[in-house]
Amino acid sequence: MSPDAVTEFIRVLREEADGADFRTLSGPAIPATTPGVLARWRTRLATAAAAGVTAVAAFGGLAYAADDAAPGALLYGIDRAFEGIGIGNGGEHERLEEAVALAKHGDPALGLEHAAGVTGDPAAQAALIEAAERIMVREQNQVGEQTQTRVQVAELLQYMAQNAGAVDGPTVADLARSIGGEPSGPPDGTPAGPPDGVPAGPPDSTPGGPGDTAPGASGDTPAGSNGGQGAGGDPPQGSGANPHGGPR
């Protein structure tokens, strides 16, 4: 497998940024930092380190994630959503299989996000992503009915997989909107009927991602992705935008 160019791009940029050290720019803000020559040297050292990382990522980027075997595992360590937006190496079918696998492995929200990219229909994408957000919120709040949610996700992904290449955006949007919201009957006109025996995610299968023990996993937890609660206070000098507004 070769890393997708965009994924690699993002990885390099993040590694570079994380390897750099610009804390001295906070000089007046922080009670005390190490100013002057020493700090500048530190910045330069960090820069050199970042350049090393860049080179490594470019020429041996796979080493970074090569030992992550599970489909979608790469997502956990890099960015849950970015990779899932349809710019992958694999074709649409492969991506949807990955999405199904993610859902089965106990992360239906990520599965939905992962699936969002295969449709070029913005409304369908948005509905998928919103469904994923709802699931995250529910799981965060320990709201029940997770089993039903997972069945719904599995059905949706199954539909998409069966219709790979000709996924109908409005249908996907409809299905996605029924997920994780108010309990309601199954959507009408469920297309290409997902059979009863859909592979609903076995609840006991542990998430396959490397995020379990990894540092920085906080960014990967469902809790982190709902801006409404997580973003805490309004950023300073809030200029209008309502940070807790609804998702649309």
Partner 1 sequence: MTAMAGRIEVDFPTALANAKRGDEAAWRDLFQIISGRVVGFLVVRGMRDPEDVAGEVFADVVRSIKRFHGDRRDFLAWTLTIAHRRMVDAVRSSVRRPEDPTPADQLDGRDPVDVEDAALGLVGAERARLLLERLTPEQADVLALRIYGELTLPEIARRLDKPLTAVTSLQHRGLEALRRHLEAEGPLSSE
Residue 189's contacts (CB-CB under 8 Å, 6 or more residues apart) are 171
Binding of partner 1 by 8 (CB under 8 A): yes
- Complex with partner 1: residue 8 or 168, whichever CB lies closer: 8
Instruction: Give residues 32-91 in contact with partner 1 (rule: CB under 8 A).
Output: 32-33, 43-44, 46-47, 50-51, 53-55, 57-58, 63-68, 73-74, 77, 79, 81-82, 85-87
Task: Please identify, using beta-carbon distances, which residue of 57 and 99 lies nearer to partner 1.
Answer: 57
Minimum CB distance to partner 1, residue 218 (Å): 4
What's the closest the beta carbon of residue 121 comes to partner 1, in angstroms?
Answer: 9
For partner 1, the binding residues in 148-207 under the rule CB under 8 A are none
**233 is a site residue for partner 1 (CB under 8 A):** yes
Residue (63 or 143) nearer to partner 1, CB = 63
**Alpha-carbon dihedral angle through residues 211, 222, 135, 241, given to the nearest 10 degrees:** -150
Q: Which two three-digit tokens encode residue 129? A: 């992503």
Distance of alpha carbon 196 from alpha carbon 199, whole angstroms: 9
Considering the rule CB under 8 A, would residue 130 count as an interface residue with partner 1?
Answer: yes
**CB-neighbour burial class of residue 182 (10 A; exposed 0-12, middle 13-18, buried 19+):** exposed
Residue ranges in the chain assigned as alpha helix (H): 5-19, 36-60, 73-77, 92-104, 108-115, 122-140, 146-162, 169-177, 227-230
Among 91, 186, 202, 243, binds partner 1 (CB under 8 A): 243
